[in-house]
Amino acid sequence: MVANVVVAQDTVTMGLKDCMHYAVEHSTKIRIAQADNRDAQIDRRDAIFAAFTPTIDGNTYAYSNFGRSIDPETNTYIRTTSFHNGYSLSAGINLFNGFQAVNNLKITKTAQLMGLTKEQQTEDQICLATMEAYCNVLYYTDMQKALQAQVATAEKAVQLATRQEQLGQKSHADVVQMQSDLAERQYQLTTCRNNLNNAVITLKDVMFWPIEKPLKIDESFSRLPQCDSPTTGTENISQMVEFAKTNMPSVVLAEGTMKNARLALKTARWQLLPRLSLYGGWSSSYFTYPGMEGYVPTPYFEQLKNNGGEYVQLSLSIPIFDRLSSHSNIARKKNAYDRAQADYEQTLQTVEAEVRRAIADRDGSADALRQADTRAELQEEAFALNTKRFEQGLISSIEYQTASNNYLNALAEQLNARLQYFIKNSVVNYYGGKSYLEQ
């Protein structure tokens, strides 16, 4: 599923979901994770064959002997050139090897599921990074528009102050102050443009978009509808925590690692028991004495039939003393299991803290957004009134500059609060079971 894009004049305008889809589809990290998954599938297949199928080997040989050798028919030494050809086929299977094959089946199954989970975790991380980079571009884009408006207003103010100085209504100090304010606004605009360029490069990097290729994104906040009506406290926190402890990729990975470590420990302990194997095979050979006068060799296939033999072997291997290597292996596997168990418990604790922190951050950012909206509206109105008063000569240039700074700061904080709430609310929805691409 790919989100809609707007095409106009050969320029593709990409929304947030378009950027996330593109980042996931072109990410080298996803390709690496998919390659790891293919390896896990191969390991799973090998474990199945190792558990249920025998090993089969076929061999053949052919050689000529030019010196002294033993005649296979008379079992006596001869000094005649001889030619020998033989064939063999053997098979073997482990009947009992300490449940190693069974445990490997379970380990590879868990590893395969973990690989899919790790791929999903990588996808989620890419989507979140893309979202943050996308929001940074939106922030600097809107700030650039606001600063451009401020520069235009400051230029008009300088023109007005210069005219009023000529008429004797303003002092030269007021004009210099207004010119200083204009220079400050122009400097802020230049800095904002640089930050916007850096933010666009960062977004391209996260998306694996060609750096030299232009990237046009939808700059409208209408693509972030959650920012318009911030909500708080609508979730059952305990229920969300339990869901996250069961379904979050980090928890699934930690739990899978712990399960595999436990199986590896069981396998190491079972290796102290005897091993039972079954083998069987067939072999035959052919020989002749080329150049021997009066010698008539037995026909090829008749020799193969006459010389053929079969065997069945049942092998029992009992470990007696291996310089404590098995016990050392058990100790290492136990330590690995203890580490995996501790990591799993720590992951559960971390996930719960992250969920509760995400909800608290979302609620706090919602309150901050409401206050920022109110403050921005008031500062915008105050700036408009002060602009009129300045044009009428009722306030000084310093007071006007203060009003302009207050309005610009309020606007910046509003933009930041809106984007912060959007990101934090998306994180809460993610912990609730809705992936970033589904939101």
pLDDT of residue 5: 45
Inter-axis angle of helices 397-431 and 325-391, nearest 10: 150
pLDDT of residue 1: 37
Helix (H) or strand (E) holding 50: helix 28-52
First to last CA, the chain: 13
Query: 423 and 310 share a domain?
Result: no
Tell me whether residue 160 is in a domain: yes
Expressed as residue numbers, the domain containing 301 is: 58-90+275-318
pLDDT of residue 228: 58
Query: 189 and 66 share a domain?
Result: no
Query: 267 and 292 share a domain?
Result: no
**CA torsion, points 290, 294, 299, 305, in degrees to nearest 10?**
-90
Query: 415 and 301 share a domain?
Result: no
Query: 164 and 109 share a domain?
Result: yes
Q: Which of 261, 286, 318 is the last residue of a domain?
A: 318
pLDDT of residue 4: 43
Query: 30 and 163 share a domain?
Result: yes
Query: 36 and 171 share a domain?
Result: yes
Query: 110 and 128 share a domain?
Result: yes
Q: What is the DSSP letter of 299?
A: P
Tell me whether residue 179 is in a domain: yes
Cα separation, 10 vs 214, whole angstroms: 11
Query: 30 and 165 share a domain?
Result: yes
Ranges in the chain, pLDDT < 50: 1-10
Tell me whether residue 1 is in a domain: no
Cα separation, 240 vs 227, whole angstroms: 22
Cα separation, 141 vs 283, whole angstroms: 81
Query: 127 and 195 share a domain?
Result: yes
For residue 104, give the amino acid letter: N
CA 359 to chain centre: 24
pLDDT of residue 223: 54
